[in-house]
């Protein structure tokens, strides 16, 4: 009922939208207030910003395509996780700023465009660990984080809502600029190379999870949760885009089979589960910092990549089927675990015992099928059991919430 009312209000306000737009001469604070009152929409520049990450995600996924003796080595996994955290960190920092403060100022757009070019560049050097590329990486991170720190600093000078929070964020993000500068200086001088590598990696891991450490500094009154959820939806769509590209190989002329259909059905079920979860279960009007939403999507993106790579390799001879079966199973479990952590935002939060048991049973049964068969078809059958079972439970939960809201 709440969504129906919000949708009706939005429809009725269309005619008033022209008169409600702020005049060109209005101050920055007035424009921010107007945006906050009317709700923030995803801008075209943000959508273009996401397109850059399509390229970045494809390059990072390519890191996992390097195998040794039929498996992906721990070192390759480490490089992948470091790389994905770099890209997600920049995306999250930029998205958090846009969500809270962006009002389309010229310097905001300029820095966002500069970060796009930086991401394109850094995507091509993340897989390299030689000294020259590490130093180049440090300098690119200085540019990107320095730009975002500058945005928060400029916001703190407006003396509007969240100016104190902006000042804190500006200083904290700039501290990472100093960290990367120190690492770059050590590499350039040729001294303490191992320490420089450690500083860079520590900066990446700490920076990626910075919002969790400073979550109490987030003012919930300036968090536009509907906008934030929509931004993460688009991120997941980009991730599923990589899956679709991979699955396209199943539909080559003369190679279409039952497995082709099964793989596509699994993708639809996974995506459908996310849609039900995000559109019908999450309360977008809730007052929250969105921290759980942010970091659960780290896990969602990584899990989708694990399933994509695993499904690509398990079809080929000479690969370790056991390894890639476990990789796919871990990806599926991580996907639904990350999805369910967002139940803290559900409109009807109660989970009944039957629902919990259902999730556990379908996961155990599907996992057992995958581990027992250790083959491409067995893996597909197990994935269908897990994804279909969880999709059904989420669909039931969605209807349960709809009935609950109709009674309110």
Domain residue limits, the chain: 41-221, 223-407
Task: Tell me what pLDDT residue 353 has.
Answer: 63
Task: Tell me what pLDDT residue 160 has.
Answer: 63
SS3 track for 20-65: HCCCCCCCHHHHHHHHHHHCCCCCHHHHHHHHHHHHHHHHHHHHCC
Whole-angstrom distance, CA of residue 232 vs CA of residue 261: 28
Task: Tell me what pLDDT residue 281 has.
Answer: 86
Task: Tell me what pLDDT residue 16 has.
Answer: 36
Task: Tell me what pLDDT residue 144 has.
Answer: 94
Task: Tell me what pLDDT residue 402 has.
Answer: 60
Neighbours of 167 (CB within 10 A): 15
Q: What is the pLDDT along the chain (408 residues), one digit of tens a residue?
A: 444 445 444 433 433 333 334 444 444 444 455 444 456 788 889 999 999 988 998 888 888 887 777 788 888 899 899 889 999 999 999 999 999 888 888 999 999 999 999 999 988 887 776 666 788 888 999 999 999 999 999 888 876 666 777 888 889 999 999 999 999 888 888 777 788 888 888 999 998 888 888 777 777 778 889 999 999 999 999 899 888 888 887 787 877 777 778 888 889 999 999 998 888 888 888 888 888 999 999 999 999 999 888 888 877 767 787 888 888 888 999 999 999 998 888 876 566 667 778 888 888 888 888 877 666 677 888 888 889 989 998 888 877 666 545 544
């Amino acid at each position: 009922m709440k969504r129906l009312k919000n949708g009706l209000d939005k429809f009725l306000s269309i005619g008033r939208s022209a008169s409600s737009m702020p005049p060109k001469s209005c101050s920055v604070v007035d424009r921010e207030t107007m945006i906050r009152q009317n709700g923030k929409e995803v801008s075209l520049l943000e959508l273009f910003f996401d397109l850059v990450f399509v390229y970045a995600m494809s390059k990072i996924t390519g890191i996992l395509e390097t195998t040794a003796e039929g498996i992906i080595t721990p070192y390759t996994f480490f490089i992948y996780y470091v790389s994905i955290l770099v890209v997600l960190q920049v995306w999250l920092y930029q998205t958090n700023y846009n969500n809270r403060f962006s009002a389309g100022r010229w310097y905001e757009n300029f820095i966002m465009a500069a970060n796009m070019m930086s991401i394109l560049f850094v995507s091509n050097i993340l897989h390299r660990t030689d000294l020259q590329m590490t130093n180049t990486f440090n300098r690119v991170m200085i540019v990107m984080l320095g730009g975002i720190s500058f945005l928060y600093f400029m916001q703190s000078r407006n003396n509007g809502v969240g100016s104190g929070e902006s000042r804190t964020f500006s200083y904290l993000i700039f501290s990472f600029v100093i960290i990367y500068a120190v690492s770059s200086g050590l590499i350039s001088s040729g001294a303490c190379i191992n320490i420089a590598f450690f500083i860079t990696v520590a900066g990446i891991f700490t920076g990626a999870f910075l919002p969790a450490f400073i979550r109490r500094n987030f003012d919930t009154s300036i968090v536009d949760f509907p906008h934030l959820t929509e931004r993460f939806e688009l991120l997941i769509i980009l991730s599923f885009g990589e899956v679709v590209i991979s699955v396209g190989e199943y539909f080559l002329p003369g190679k279409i089979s039952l497995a082709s259909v099964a793989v596509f059905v699994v993708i639809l079920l996974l995506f459908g589960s996310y849609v039900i979860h995000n559109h019908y279960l999450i309360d977008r009007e809730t007052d929250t910092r969105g921290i759980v939403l942010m970091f659960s999507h780290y896990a969602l993106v990584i899990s989708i990549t694990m399933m994509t790579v695993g499904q690509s390799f398990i079809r080929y001879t000479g690969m370790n089927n056991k390894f890639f079966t476990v990789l796919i199973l871990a990806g599926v479990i991580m996907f639904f675990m990350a999805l369910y952590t967002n139940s803290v935002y559900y409109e009807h939060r109660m989970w009944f015992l039957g629902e919990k048991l259902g999730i556990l049973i379908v996961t155990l049964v599907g996992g057992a099928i995958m581990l027992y068969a250790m083959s491409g078809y067995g893996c597909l059958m197990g994935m269908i059991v897990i994804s279909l079972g969880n999709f059904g439970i989420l669909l039931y939960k969605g209807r349960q919430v709809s009935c609950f809201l109709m009674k309110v």
